[in-house]
Amino acid sequence: MPADRTQLDRVRTRRLAANLHRAVRPTLDLQPRRENTYIALDALACVAAKVLDSLEDRNAMDFFTLALTQCLEDCQKKL
């Protein structure tokens, strides 16, 4: 498992992220928006849990938590 996000294939990561965003976007656009945002987040958490559960790497959860934190920081910088 990579020690940090900088060691990952950024092109593949961005492509997969775009595909995931396209998949949840219709749900995010529905009203009431707040409720559907939580539905999308719950679905993403379900997928993350399945991915993490399929690994035998004990560092995967720490990596995911760090990656999520860094992605949120990156989004805040863009505002």
Average pLDDT, consecutive stretches of 10 residues, N- to C-terminus, the chain (79 residues): 71 94 95 93 96 90 92 91
- Given a contact cutoff of 8 angstroms between Cβ atoms, the answer to whether 1 and 67 are in contact is no
Contact between 63 and 72 under an 8 Å Cβ cutoff? The reply is: no
pLDDT digit string, tens, across residues 26-43: 999 998 899 999 999 999
Res 3: pLDDT: 55
**Domains in the chain: how many in total?**
1
* Host domain of residue 27: 5-78
Q: How far apart are CA 20 and CA 51, in angstroms?
A: 14
